Chains A and B, each alone.
Chain A
Amino acid sequence: MRIFQVLTTLSFGDAVSNDCIAIKELLKKNGYKTMIYAENIGKKVTDPDVKPYNRMPRLKKDDVILYHLSTGTALNLKIKDLPCRKYMIYHNTTPPDFFVPYSGKLAKLCNNGIEETKALKDTFNGVFAVSQFNADQLRSFGYTCEMKIRPILIPFDDYKKEPDKETAERMRSDDAKNILFVGRIAPNKKQEDLISLLYAYRQMYSDPVRLILAGSPSGMEKYMARLKCYADSLGLKDIVFTGQISFPKILAYLSTADCFVSMSEHEGFCVPLVEAMQFNVPILAYSSTAIPETLGGTGILLDSKDPSYAAAHLHEILNNEDLRKKMVLEQSERLKDFSYENISALFMKQLKEFIG
């Protein structure tokens, strides 16, 4: 029996690709013959176990396909006809409405993703959903197959690498506290709400804070330009837009952050929350989609996006040492649930239950 993972794009640094590679390593460690086949492969990917989809060998009946679904793609149609057992790893698709003003192409892709997910409801022998939120969505699409909740597999050893020194020094060069959000520059992540939060904070309090928006604007340049224009209009010209950055630089921002703040309105899991937990950064997040589930009762959840309301919570987190300590302690406990050992053991158990 061979286990092949199939996905539309395998690139450097995104959550789906990282999950796929981590699963491949785990399967290999457990003695399975495994490969990854992707329609598009990023230039930085040098893993010899990653091949183009059209080079997938002829499948046998006892082979297993693990299909990562996260967007609209021609693969969603092709997967239906593969003559073997098929399991989906569902990462969710962002609702297209977010992208309509910025990219018709992307909005169409997301719309196709949702429609194709619905059309695949009778295709899979089982589903691994990365959150209960995702599983519930599939149920609402009419999926009746067995579903297992398996959070994203994160190889935490990668986070022990050396952070970029220059970036870390720059972030610590003054007495400003660093408010961080990590995630693509994308309308569903609602970076504009972080900008208005910063504005309200500066009106209400005098302690210096710096907002860092770490993420690539690729494909969302119009949204990025609009964000910059919004920040300029509010007189917030010092916001750090990092753009696409190297992993050591992300580590530097995480290691120097005083609070991780998310205003995102659509997340299927939200890996950066777990990254913040790993770096002992207190989390303040707007309660939406899978975020409360990933936080698991830890961090501070906001039920409103009102900038003054959010700023008051942020100020308390930044300045109340006891509260910070408690938050970090609770988050560390939650982090154990996502440990590589726990999730890999859970995945192998679920996989064996599925494929026997």
Chain B
Amino acid sequence: MSTAREDIAALIPDAEELKGKVSIPLEFEKISMLAGVSVDDALDGTMTKLREKHEVIPQYRNIKEKTGGMMYGFYINPAVRHQNDINKALFEVFEEFEKLTEEKNQLLDRINKARTKLERLEKER
């Protein structure tokens, strides 16, 4: 009894001639490393970094503040607090942007599906 490998070789006798039948318009090597970084990926990277750092750890600027902090609890200097506020606001903007990007991707996905279906129907017709 023949094997599946023997069967497929008999089913596609002209397999060798098929080589190069479809020419791929773009080679993978032609995609530059820079082109490979999409807006979404860049956003992901920024968001990850921001999530890690958006809360600035209170720091003491000098021994006076450190002593004050030890005596009266944590001292948050105004500059740090201000930076935290900015980060928080920026984070909200990014979150909104992320949400909108997700919605955009979902819509693009639906458009692609519809386009594929349309192309298939056209071919069938």
Contact residues of A with B, CB < 8 Å? 101, 192, 195-196, 199-200, 203-204, 206, 208, 221-230, 233-234, 237-238, 297-301, 304, 306-309, 311-313, 316-317, 320, 322-323, 326-327, 330
Contact = CB atoms under 8 A, between A and B. Distances in A.
Interface in B23-38: 24-26, 28, 31, 33, 35-38
A181 to B, nearest CB: 16
B56 interface: no
A225 B18 contact: no
Interface stretch (B64-72, B78-86, B94-102, B106-114): B106-114
B7 interface: yes
A88 B90 CA distance: 52
B41 A221 contact: yes
A229 B35 contact: yes
Contacts of A309: 15-16, 18-19
A200 B4 contact: no
Contacts, number: 102
Contacts of B120: 206, 208
Given A101-B33, A222-B33, A307-B24, A330 B15 contact: no
B22 interface: yes
Contacts of A304: 19
B104 to A, nearest CB: 13
26 contacts: A192-B28, A196-B24, A196-B28, A200-B24, A225-B37, A225-B41, A226-B35, A229-B31, A229-B38, A230-B26, A233-B31, A237-B108, A237-B109, A300-B5, A300-B8, A304-B19, A306-B19, A307-B22, A308-B18, A308-B22, A309-B15, A309-B16, A313-B15, A317-B8, A322-B7, A326-B4
B49 interface: no
B21 A323 contact: no
A101 B29 CA distance: 11
A125 B35 CA distance: 50
A200 B33 contact: no
B20 A323 contact: no
- Which of B4, B112, B124 counts the most A-chain CB atoms under 10 A from its CB? B4
Nearest to A223: B36
Given A224-B41, A312-B15, 14 more contacts: A204-B21, A206-B123, A225-B36, A233-B31, A234-B26, A238-B112, A297-B3, A300-B5, A308-B20, A308-B22, A309-B16, A312-B18, A313-B12, A323-B11
B77 interface: no
A234 to B, nearest CB: 6
Nearest to A317: B8
Contact of B36 (A203, A222, A306, A330): A222
